[in-house]
A and B are shown apart, each in its own frame.
Chain A
């Protein structure tokens, strides 16, 4: 079995929970606090999506505050779905921020809502959006019946 990077699943749930709270705050506070908080969350998503998963401030919070108190996880999970979740979160949050800043408030609210729904589902049920989409994306992007190893999607 190839060695793919793994993460602590409890850390991911913790991160999703904090993300949910932050996005809920975005929906509840008025401008300009709303845009500031959202910009912060966009940056957090960006570190997880394009940098190191562990570099995200929420991951740091988990590593320093929670993890020492609860010990190592029983099992670790593949790091790619959580990273995909950060990419999805970044995309929706960035669209939302652009919406708010350019006066398209409805777009901002809807996009924030989608990001919040995904984070909330992950935090409460462990629902893995990337996992659900992965096969569908494979089916759509691979025309041949059996893709050759090493072919680009």
Chain B
């Protein structure tokens, strides 16, 4: 009997974790250029991300070796940057940039940051996002998005 209870509890907890992960993965924080008027956002420069900022926005992906979803994320970000003018994407290896990882509180990979034209972090998401989620996040980071 206790075994049955243990099984039910395990299945329930597993289900709960699966639901939470599905909800959280790829969900960008609701920050946007309008709501980010204060100066408390972190700003990343070209030195931090190892490349130039995009004219309108920049997508920064933190990846690591042990990261199955990172490949799919890289593909989605690259394709999006190809389609949307003024947007560039950079990938950072988390393991070799632990200072930045700690500064930005990166806990898992992939973590994607959306920067506005000045390099200020406008929103972020952990777990692999869909293309729609990336486009919506860019929409909030670019004043006149077309």
Measuring CB to CB, which residues of chain A are less than 8 angstroms from any residue of chain B?
9, 24, 27-29, 34, 77-78, 80-81, 84, 105, 109-110, 112-113, 116-117, 120-121, 124-128, 130-132, 134-136, 138-139, 142, 144-147
Smallest Cβ-Cβ distance to B5: which chain A residue: A109
Measuring CB to CB, which residues of chain B are less than 8 angstroms from any residue of chain A?
2-4, 6-7, 9-11, 13-14, 17-18, 21-22, 64-69, 94-99, 101-102, 106-109
Of B22, B69, B108, the most chain A CB neighbours within 10 A belong to B108
Question: Main secondary structure on chain B at its contact with chain A?
Answer: helix
Smallest Cβ-Cβ distance to B102: which chain A residue: A139
11 additional contacts (CB under 8 A) given A121-B14, A134-B64: A27-B10, A77-B68, A78-B66, A81-B66, A105-B2, A116-B14, A117-B10, A125-B22, A126-B68, A134-B67, A147-B96
Q: What A residues does B21 contact at CB under 8 A?
A: 125, 127
6 A-B residue pairs with CB within 8 Å:
A9-B68, A113-B9, A116-B7, A117-B17, A121-B18, A135-B64
Partner of A120, one of B10, B97, B101: B10
Question: Main secondary structure on chain A at its contact with chain B?
Answer: helix
Q: What B residues does A147 contact at CB under 8 A?
A: 95-96, 98
A-B contact count (CB 8 A): 100
Of B10, B17, B22, B64, the most chain A CB neighbours within 10 A belong to B10
Q: What B residues does A139 contact at CB under 8 A?
A: 98, 101-102
The answer to whether B3 touches A109, judged by C-beta atoms less than 8 angstroms apart, is yes
A-B pairs, top 7 by smallest CB distance, nearest first, are A145-B99, A134-B66, A113-B10, A109-B6, A27-B3, A27-B7, A120-B14
Partner of B7, one of A24, A110, A126: A24
The answer to whether B68 touches A131, judged by C-beta atoms less than 8 angstroms apart, is yes
With both chains docked as a complex, state the minimum distance between the C-beta of A29 and any C-beta of chain B, in angstroms: 8
Q: What B residues does A24 contact at CB under 8 A?
A: 7
Q: What A residues does B107 contact at CB under 8 A?
A: 135-136
Smallest Cβ-Cβ distance to B127: which chain A residue: A132
